[in-house]
């Protein structure tokens, strides 16, 4: 046991420097470390445990809706990437190329997958022959690589971990249903597991995925008013399938082309968790994915009976919750700060007086609320408290989202908000991408986030050009 | 539902052509498909589900012994790979090199990890300072790449999936204990989960992992008498740590160098499962990792009540076992052959007569034994039967291992066995790698597999050179 008394290192305040606050948190909570490879991160045990909990939850949702996991190759031959024009244009500038294998120079460059549409298409061509082979509902958990110029842990790194679903369907209707179902799955996962509210909707043509007919997105709002593309679900129509020559014999015995979707979320979600829920004391983790849900801190640990009681509680609780007992010699104050920084949702304090009274203290991380709890009711109260934390941080995030959503009906108003009040701007749009370009230029980076499923009528004309408006759009800066 | 009546395609007999039998099985049981990237395989849903079951089981074992999962970068800068001499010599000839990122040519080549010792060392250098930081017990699940010339699905592919544990310890004793513990974990996993018996022991210097002081191995015996390196656990001493400048302040306040281990198993294990348990009808899967443990085949499915009863049984059993009900219009005979090929351990047949008698038929895949079972006792009997299958295929594999293990005390005897009786050859060895080279040359590829933990005294002299023997060695050809 450590005699040494380390102090929890300081974290830069959010208000002072949000970017520095973010990197302080990811480093000091031991989520990641940098490596000697530009833009590639090391995900440390505490960070990876969050990812494992995310994976387990999402994977269960995917399997319940009939999806199967597969594994495709890491490398894509250049000619395969080039089969679909938009796709290669979108990705070729940002891939890593393998040109040597062992001692030999390869006759064709291979790129490290930035995404695997083309690999799935190549495989589907072989295994889809009849309508009986459809739908194909495949997903893969893997690493992908995009050669990024500026990187930030979780938010934008050259290599990241993700899941990519790729499905093939008999009809457009079925494929659209899948596209929407998977977006809904993400929305539910964000809400019910990560305690993160978000705006969802359709991307404009300009912001669509390279090669997709429609891209749907989930856009949570970070604490500082910057949005983040939290997950996307794409409908491809039959275009990729045509490029790859995938056909099937339909129910009416004609040759048909299947309709395709893809959808994905990545380790970037961990960045969202940090920036939506975190505060100046560090991480605040949603209970459902917290590697430690409850930390037990014994008070006056050398007094007789304290450690024994703490261990007894740990034994009692460990089958039901992810529990850690910190038996180290560090002071309770140090431990409080340490596990607050690590975002542990609940702290249980127990000392000699508590034991006398058959009670303990529970403290919720997000609001530091203290409750005295009878030891007889402990498991039930912990259950309730974890739910309270979930609901509490969800509400707080929802208020932030609402507070950081403004409405603009004129360009002046728009520019004023863009400059002075970071967040979403709801405004009308004519449908022309020239207006998206202009707004981006004038605002130093505000882009259309999405056209929500339920549009409001804020004005008759486009906020930018004044022509008749076609859609209400959420705008904002993004990570 | 399919009206079409496909017949199960023929599988080449093992006796006729074992290699073709193997590729027939992996293809026809839909475990893998080939991709357009040389040596990279597509792991299809049925194959990947086996891997997921393997992962879940092993990961639990690792965590129970205190290991934590992390994720290291995919790419290794050339200078980092070169830090340890033996390691770079061992791996540099067989790695894939990234030389271009996006549009630019890189100033330093990056290789796709063939294994991650050097990445772990670079990270450990940063996070290990005191004996209090030890041990570090990290593991990672990931893809790795080795540029192989001839490849075979699961057994030898350029890209494969694996886990690699990398640990650091205060003392040699602790590190050796870890090395042996992890080998034991593999041994138990092979025996208790995969139903595969194996020889374990220490590699000779010649066969050690590039950079390791000691390599321990688990070597199961395939049905055709060829061995397979089924998993390895390495003790590195302090050599890598010295190369990387990793030191810590010891309990006595002196600067010390930690002792290191690494250990790994890969998707190659699926190859072992196929070649140890499979037969001329296809796969035979160990119940603990079978994606489907029990398939329900309704007989005379159009007779009233049959499908209903089959569904009722599925409902009753699905929480307890991995169950599939095949409701398709294919004939029972086709289904029997199909699920035999897929290696499903148990088949449940139920028809009108069975329903009348409140019974069903259970057939065990590995020996086609039929049992009539009262529906009242079904879950218990299935439980027993799955255990019977596990024990039965383990015994069969053990007999094969024994039958395919010979003893040679003279070189003539050795060469005769090597030519005529594929399998392990136990023989004495002087300790000189020149004899290993000579035996390999004379036998067209027989190598030392390992020095077992309990050596027998078969003779006084080396089977090859006649000098005094130091060790008893298991020899054999390998995949």
Q: Are A205 and A435 in contact (CB under 8 A)?
A: no
Q: How far apart are CA A389 and CA B460, in angstroms?
A: 72
CB neighbour class for A233 (10 Å; exposed up to 12, middle 13-18, buried from 19):
buried
Closest CA of chain B from A95, distance in Å:
5
The values of phi and psi at residue A211, to 5°, are: 110, -10
pLDDT exceeds cutoff 80 at A104: yes
Mean pLDDT of B70-96: 91
Identify the pLDDT of residue A87: 82
Q: Does A73 lie at the interface with B, CB-CB under 8 angstroms? A: yes
- pLDDT for residue A6: 42
pLDDT in tens, A277-305: 999 999 999 999 999 999 999 999 889 99
Under a CB-based contact definition with an 8 Å cutoff, are residues A358 and A375 in contact? yes
For residue B352, name the pLDDT band (cuts at 50, 70, 90): very high
Is 80 exceeded by the pLDDT of residue A5? no
Is 50 exceeded by the pLDDT of residue A7?
no
CA distance B201 to A420: 69
Q: What are phi and psi of A284, to 5 degrees?
A: -130, 110
Residue A17 CA to residue B130 CA, distance in Å, equals 33
Given an 8 Å threshold on Cβ–Cβ distance, is B112 in contact with A110? no
Note whether A101 contacts B100, CB cutoff 8 Å: no
Average pLDDT over residues B316-336: 96
Contact A80 B36 (CB under 8 A): yes
Question: For residue B66, which residues of chain A lie inside 8 Å, CB to CB?
Answer: none
Please check whether residue B84 is in contact with residue A45, taking contact to mean a CB–CB distance below 8 angstroms.
no
pLDDT in tens, A396-414: 999 999 999 999 999 999 9
Q: Which two tokens stand for residue A318?
A: 């460990």
What average pLDDT does the segment B19-47 reach?
Answer: 95
Q: Is the pLDDT of residue A3 over 60?
A: no
Residues of A whose CB is below 8 A from B71: 42-43, 48, 51, 161
Residues ≥6 apart with Cβ < 8 Å to A1: A327, A328, A329
Is residue A54 less than 8 Å (CB to CB) from chain B? no
Asked if B112 and A98 come within 8 Å (Cβ–Cβ), the reply is yes
Q: Give the DSSP per-residue string, B80-147.
A: HHTTSHHHHHHHGGG-EEEEEETTEEEEEEEEEPS--HHHHHHHHHHH--BGGG--EEEEEEEEEE--
Q: Does B112 touch chain A (CB under 8 A)?
A: yes
Classified as helix, coil or strand, B474 is strand
- Mean pLDDT over B75-83 rounds to 93
Answer yes or no: are the C-beta atoms of A425 and A418 closer than 8 Å: yes
Q: How confident is the model at residue B8 (pLDDT cuts 50, 70, 90)?
A: low
Q: Tell me what the mean pLDDT of segment A327-350 comes to.
A: 96
Show the tokens assigned to B447.
Answer: 């190598």
Q: Rounded to 5 degrees, what angle do the CA atoms A66, A56, A393 make?
A: 115
- The verdict on a CB contact (< 8 Å) between A35 and B73 is yes
> What is the Cα–Cα distance from A28 to A13, expressed in whole angstroms?
14
CA pair distance B160, B468, nearest whole angstrom: 42
Of A69, A119, A147, the CB nearest to B48: A69
A132 shares contact with chain B (CB less than 8 Å): yes
Buried b (16+ CB within 10 A) or exposed e, B124-148: beeebeebebbbbbbbbbbbbbbbb
Nearest Cβ partner for B40 among A73, A102, A126: A73
pLDDT class for A149, splitting at 50, 70, 90?
confident
Average pLDDT, chain A: 95
What's the pLDDT score for residue A8? Answer: 52
Within an 8 Å CB–CB cutoff, is residue A181 touching chain B? no
pLDDT at A347: 98
Side-chain half-sphere of A120: how many Cα atoms within 13 Å? 23
The answer to whether residue A45 neighbours chain B at the CB level (below 8 Å) is yes
User: pLDDT tens digits for A181-226?
Assistant: 999 999 999 999 999 999 999 999 999 998 899 999 999 999 999 9
> Each residue of B401-460: pLDDT tens digit?
999 999 999 999 999 999 999 999 999 999 999 999 999 999 999 999 999 999 999 999
SS3 B261: strand
pTM of the model: 0.96
pLDDT band of residue B148 (cuts 50, 70, 90) is: confident
Question: Between residues B302 and B217, which one has the greater pLDDT?
Answer: B217
Chain A nearest CA to B454, separation (Å): 38
pLDDT, chain B, mean? 95
How confident is the model over A40-97, as pLDDT tens digits? 999 999 999 999 999 999 999 999 999 999 999 999 999 999 998 888 888 888 999 9
What's the pLDDT score for residue B7? 46
d(CA A399, CA A395): 6
Q: In which band, very low, low, confident or very high, does the pLDDT at A148 lie, cut at 50, 70 and 90?
A: confident
Q: pLDDT over 70 for what percent of chain B? A: 98
Q: Is the predicted pLDDT of residue B2 greater than 80, yes or no?
A: no
User: Which among A33, A37, A51 has CB closest to B110?
Assistant: A37
DSSP single-letter state for residue B282? B
Q: Is residue A2 predicted with pLDDT exceeding 80?
A: no
B257 three-state secondary structure: coil
pLDDT at B203 over 50: yes
| Separation of alpha carbons B281 and B37, rounded Å | 30
The Cα–Cα gap between B310 and B298 comes to: 6
Do the chains contact at A98 and B97, CB–CB below 8 Å? Answer: yes
Residues of chain A found within 8 Å of residue B48, distances taken between Cβ atoms: 68-71
């Amino acid at each position: 046991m450590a005699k040494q008394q380390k102090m929890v290192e300081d974290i830069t305040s959010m208000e002072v420097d949000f970017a520095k606050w973010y990197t302080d948190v990811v480093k000091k909570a031991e989520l990641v470390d940098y490596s000697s490879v530009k833009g590639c991160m090391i995900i440390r045990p505490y960070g990876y445990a969050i990812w494992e909990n995310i994976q387990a939850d999402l994977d269960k949702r995917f399997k319940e809706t009939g999806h199967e996991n597969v594994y495709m190759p890491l490398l894509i031959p250049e000619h395969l990437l080039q089969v679909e024009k938009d796709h290669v244009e979108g990705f070729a500038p940002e891939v890593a190329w393998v040109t040597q294998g062992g001692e030999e120079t390869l006759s064709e460059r291979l790129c490290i997958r930035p995404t695997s549409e083309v690999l799935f298409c190549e495989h589907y061509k072989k295994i889809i022959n009849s309508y009986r082979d459809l739908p194909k509902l495949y997903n893969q958990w893997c690493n992908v690589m995009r050669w990024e110029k500026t990187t930030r842990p979780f938010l934008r790194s050259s290599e990241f971990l993700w899941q990519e679903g790729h499905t093939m369907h008999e009809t457009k209707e079925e494929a659209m249903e899948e596209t929407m179902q998977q977006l809904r799955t993400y929305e539910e996962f964000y809400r019910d597991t990560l305690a993160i509210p978000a705006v969802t909707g359709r991307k404009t043509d300009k912001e669509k995925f390279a090669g997709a007919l429609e891209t749907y997105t989930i856009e949570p709002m970070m604490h500082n008013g910057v949005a983040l593309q939290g997950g996307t679900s794409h409908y491809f129509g039959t275009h990729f399938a045509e490029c790859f020559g995938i056909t099937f014999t339909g129910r009416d015995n004609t040759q048909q082309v299947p309709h395709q979707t893809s959808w994905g979320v990545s380790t970037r979600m961990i960045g969202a968790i940090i920036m939506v829920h975190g505060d100046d004391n560090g991480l605040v983790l949603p209970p459902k994915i917290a590697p430690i849900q409850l930390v037990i801190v014994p008070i006056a640990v050398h007094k007789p009976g304290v450690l024994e009681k703490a261990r007894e509680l740990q034994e009692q609780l460990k089958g039901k919750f992810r529990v850690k007992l910190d038996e180290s010699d560090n002071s309770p104050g140090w431990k409080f700060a340490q596990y607050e920084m690590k975002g542990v949702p609940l702290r249980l304090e127990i000392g000699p007086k508590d034991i006398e009274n058959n009670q303990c203290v529970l403290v919720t991380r997000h609001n530091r609320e203290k409750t005295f709890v009878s030891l007889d009711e402990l498991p039930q109260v912990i259950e309730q408290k974890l739910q309270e934390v979930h609901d509490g941080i969800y509400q707080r995030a929802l208020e932030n989202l609402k507070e950081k959503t403004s409405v603009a009906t004129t360009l002046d108003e728009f520019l004023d908000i863009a400059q002075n009040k970071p967040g979403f701007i709801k405004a009308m749009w004519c449908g022309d991408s020239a207006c998206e370009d202009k707004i981006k230029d004038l605002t130093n980076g505000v882009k259309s986030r999405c056209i929500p499923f339920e549009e409001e009528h804020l004005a008759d004309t486009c906020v930018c050009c004044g022509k008749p408006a076609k859609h209400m759009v959420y705008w904002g800066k993004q990570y």
